[in-house]
A and B are shown apart, each in its own frame.
Chain A
Amino acid sequence: MQGKAWKFKDHVDTDLIIPARYLNTHDPLELAKHCMEDADPSFAGKVSKGDIIVAGENFGCGSSREHAPVAIKAAGVSAVVAKSFARIFFRNAINIGLPIVELSATDEINEGDILDIDVENGSLKNVTAGKNYKIEPFPAFMKNIINKGGLVNYVKSKR
């Protein structure tokens, strides 16, 4: 997947990703309209399909609301790259099939850089800066869920 980077800071919490005032619905397209609103009110209007969110430590901390990765996915974001992820956000992303990548060198990525991510082969290329990074593959257990297209399909395949 290839897309333009949008930069965010450390500890982007789920209230910034999708404020609770919009949680009276779980319609992905409605949620997408307010994606990242309290971190950057203009984000939903300017993000393009395939773009990539790049952040610091502890992305998605706070609430368990799956509405957060759902809003990001429905806004057209193809992947989230962060130094680290909060654990509930991490498992929600795996479960709903939003690609996430842990990368310690996110400070080297600038807003607007074109990134090319190959999850299968574990590589991230900053096309703009001409830099390549190796990304840690997911453990086999999680890969299995991802490859099945999320938790529901994974569970169904086992029944």
Chain B
Amino acid sequence: MSQTITEKILAAHCGKKEVHPGEFIEADVDIVLGNDITAPPAIKEFEKFGIKKVFNKDRIMLVPDHFTPNKDIKSAQQVKEMREFTKKYGITHFFELGCMGVEHALLPEQGLVYPGQLIIGADSHTCTYGALGAFSTGVGSTDMAAGMATGKVWLKVPEQMKFVFKGKFNKWVSGKDLMLYLIGKIGVDGARYRTLEITGPAIDKLSMDSRLSMANMAIEAGGKNGIFIPDEKTKQYVESAWKSHKDTKHGKALYYSSDADAQYMSVTEYDCAEIEPQVAFPHLPENTKPISKVGKVKIDQSFIGSCTNGRIEDLRIAAKVLKGKKRHSDVRLIVIPATQEIWQQANDEGLFDIFMKAGAAISTPTCGPCLGGHMGILAEGERAVATSNRNFVGRMGHPKSEVYLSNAAIAAASAVAGQLASPEDL
């Protein structure tokens, strides 16, 4: 029978020829991931199994990124629990401060996640790795614990939705805008429990950084996974990651694709000519407006970073907009490269010089302000434009603050203008 890429990966991981939407499977996992919020309770649950070994010490990824460098004593305690667990069970991949990064930017960069894998992570944005042609989904801490103990996860095979992007990109549009546009169309539960397979001639032209930022937000449409058919760009990305990280142990990448006559519950086409840079208004990612229709919205802070848009492509775009300009005197501009390597690269390319002259504060990698953790919390009544993925009530601070989601170009331009703006407005 014809199968989608998602169905093929799931079938391959539960020893079946094919799987069907709605079916429950117990699948083998290749990678189990956790962070400094979700791993500590998973460790507590893991200890309840009373076993001496994890399923595979090389396939568990522990990334303390949310509240690091530790913002307070309790957070420090949580990372300490991760460190102790790492030593006790000989976990290979614990990313200490100084070699860490925001998990979903870090693992692809390190060549630790790649096409054909089945990945679970105790972080909702684990769906990011679908950009590489892997099945990757967010789970909770108990699932993470069971995954670490058994190397297995229970899954319901999701229904398949296909989204086809065609046409030419408008200026300043990146993957983020295509995804915000899609979420604006189908809503925050438009793909609940389902797969978003994202494809089409426009996607073929998209960079890996942009694809990663799109897959990252599959969860914002309620999706179980977002997935892209791996192509030559994917292959180059993965092989270059392996080449520059010679110590990374990895298996064979498997490049699946969907059969031409695979079954989808829906197929939707979007014309990129219709898509301007998008801004998602508070308090849901589905509240999108094209930048030309945002009106006058004054902002207090602009945050460029996160697992959605803290990659080198985003920093280059921000630098292009900010070059020779200064932030508005009423705006705090915070730039957080998502990993150490991105930080190094941005530094080498002279981007920091541009950011510093623009009046930005540049931080070491952390999830920080994205989830209202630290490094840029909003006060009552304040507004931020952010390149992150969520604008829920209180997401970046006070319950009466507001978050507007955009790409890096809009966030940079808004910092200069003091209000939501396009680089074309400057």
Q: Which residues of A contact B (CB under 8 A)?
A: 11, 13, 15-16, 19-21, 23-26, 38-39, 57-58, 61-67, 70, 84, 86-88, 91-92, 95-96, 139, 141-142, 145, 150-152, 155-156
Contacts and interface: CB of A to CB of B under 8 A. Distances in A.
| CB-based closest 3 A-B pairs | A92-B140, A24-B74, A66-B140
Contacts of B74: 24-25
A4 to B, nearest CB: 25
25 contacts: A11-B189, A15-B372, A15-B390, A15-B395, A20-B66, A20-B371, A21-B373, A23-B66, A24-B71, A26-B141, A38-B399, A63-B124, A64-B122, A67-B37, A67-B41, A84-B192, A88-B138, A91-B139, A92-B139, A92-B142, A141-B154, A142-B24, A145-B154, A152-B45, A152-B142
A23 B24 CA distance: 32
B284 interface: yes
Q: Which of B40, B45, B189, B373 has the most CB of A within 10 A?
A: B189
A26 B189 contact: no
Given A16-B394, A39-B393, 6 more contacts: A15-B392, A25-B78, A65-B38, A67-B37, A92-B143, A151-B154
B392 to A, nearest CB: 4
Contact of B142 (A16, A63, A95, A156): A95
Contact of B390 (A38, A62, A86): A62
A126 B224 CA distance: 33
Nearest to A41: B399
Q: Which of A23, A38, A87, A88 has the most CB of B within 10 A?
A: A87
A67 B142 CA distance: 11
B168 interface: no
B62 to A, nearest CB: 15
B23 to A, nearest CB: 10
A64 B188 contact: no
A26 B399 contact: no
Contact of B44 (A26, A38, A142, A145): A26
Contacts of B150: 155
A4 B390 CA distance: 32
Interface in B22-80: 24, 37-38, 40-41, 44-45, 48-49, 66-67, 71-72, 74-75, 78
B40 A57 contact: no
Contacts of B140: 64-66, 88, 91-92, 95-96
Nearest to A19: B394
Nearest to B34: A64
Given A16-B392, A26-B41, A58 B188 contact: yes
Q: Which of B71, B123, B395 has the most CB of A within 10 A?
A: B395
B215 interface: no
B351 interface: no
Contacts of B390: 13, 15, 62
A50 B267 CA distance: 44
Interface of B: 24, 37-38, 40-41, 44-45, 48-49, 66-67, 71-72, 74-75, 78, 121-124, 126, 138-143, 145-146, 149-150, 154, 188-189, 192-193, 219, 222, 224, 284, 371-373, 390, 392-395, 399
A65 B37 contact: yes
A156 B66 CA distance: 31
A15 B142 contact: no
A54 to B, nearest CB: 18
Contacts of A95: 140, 142-143, 146
A57 B67 contact: no
Contact of B41 (A38, A66, A84, A150): A66
B371 A152 contact: no
Contacts of A84: 189, 192
Nearest to A141: B24
Contact of B38 (A38, A64, A139, A152): A64
B78 A24 contact: yes
Nearest to B155: A91
A151 B153 CA distance: 10
A34 B286 CA distance: 27
A151 B121 CA distance: 16
A139 B146 CA distance: 21
A156 B49 contact: yes
B146 A151 contact: yes
Contact of B192 (A13, A58, A65, A142): A58
Nearest to A28: B41
Contact of B372 (A19, A25, A91): A19
A116 B189 CA distance: 29
A156 B47 CA distance: 12
Contacts of A65: 37-38, 140
B188 A66 contact: no
Nearest to B72: A24
B222 A152 contact: no
Contacts of A23: 37, 66-67
A88 B41 contact: no
A48 B210 CA distance: 47
Given A26-B44, A86-B222, A139-B24, A61 B189 contact: yes
B37 A16 contact: no
Contacts of B66: 20, 23
Contacts of A91: 139-140, 143
